[in-house]
Amino acid sequence: MLKTTAAYRLLKADPVMAHLISKAVRYEPDARAAQTPFEVLARAIAHQQLHATAANNILTRFIALFEGALFPLPQHVIDTDAARLRAVGFSHAKIAALKDLAAKALAGVVPDRKTLDQLSDGEIIERLTAVRGVGRWTVEMMLMFHMQRPDVLPVDDFGIRNGFRLAYGLKGMPTPKALAEYGERWKPFRSVAAWYLWRANELAKQNLLPKPRHTPRLALQKPRQASRKTRARAKAQRSRVQRRRRA
């Protein structure tokens, strides 16, 4: 169980985080319903690159394939041919990912919740990212919301990085490495810090985000340069515009 009072005491030692905590609503993690690790990851795969409504419709049809099951079991997925899974709306890539997830669940690579609870965050990330289509961010969300792990900082998450940029007054996005290094001061409650960095985005939209008195010096993400082809196309377009103006 997360000791919220201890987390606040630690985070308020950081002046910017203290301001965030004072302006945002009290930390209330979005505790998800109890699900097996297999189900959590299968649902995550279904939601990849899809609107939540579309993904939920696919999952509803997927579950309906197996009468009486609250959610399909790994063996169900193994036994179901790709054509039936394709018919409910899964892409070929997601079918391959689901099949791999099911096989690794049966092999014990993706264990049951009781076994998973005995592993460290790093061990869980290492094991579950072995599944096709499951990346570090997906496992970090599982750690934070399904397992209520207190010390997770998803440094690749756009919302967290942008929230840090806004809250700490940076001129650009912090690199994941720089954010990870800065976040060391928030241990062992980095999940709480991450939650408040998400809230920073909301506060900024409402013009309620306090300006920091001090901006840390961090490595910032370099703007992505356009490809040579893109630059050539833009140059040609500018030339056409200039010719039209002279005509």
What pLDDT band is residue 1 in, cutting at 50, 70 and 90?
very low
Query: Residue 243: pLDDT above 80?
Result: no
Q: Which of 14, 30, 81, 157 is catalytic?
A: 157
Is residue 219 within 8 A of residue 180, CB to CB? The reply is no
Mean per-residue pLDDT for 105-131? 96
Nearest to 156 by CA among 134, 132, 180: 180
Is residue 182 within 8 A of residue 10, CB to CB? The reply is no
Query: Each residue of 117-126: pLDDT tens digit?
Result: 999 999 999 9
- The count of other CB atoms within 10 Å of the CB of residue 171 is 7
What pLDDT band is residue 4 in, cutting at 50, 70 and 90?
confident
3-state class percentages of the chain: helix first, strand second, coil last, to nearest 5:
60, 0, 40
State the virtual CA torsion across 69, 149, 135, 184 in degrees, nearest 10.
170
Query: Residue 246: pLDDT above 60?
Result: no
What pLDDT band is residue 5 in, cutting at 50, 70 and 90?
confident
Is residue 98 within 8 A of residue 45, CB to CB? The reply is yes
- What's the predicted TM-score (pTM) here? 0.84
User: In this predicted model, which residue has the larger pLDDT, 229 or 38?
Assistant: 38
Report percent pLDDT > 70 for the chain: 85
| 152 CB-contact burial (10 Å; exposed 0-12 / middle 13-18 / buried 19+) | buried
Mean pLDDT over all residues of the chain?
89
Catalytic annotation present for 156:
no
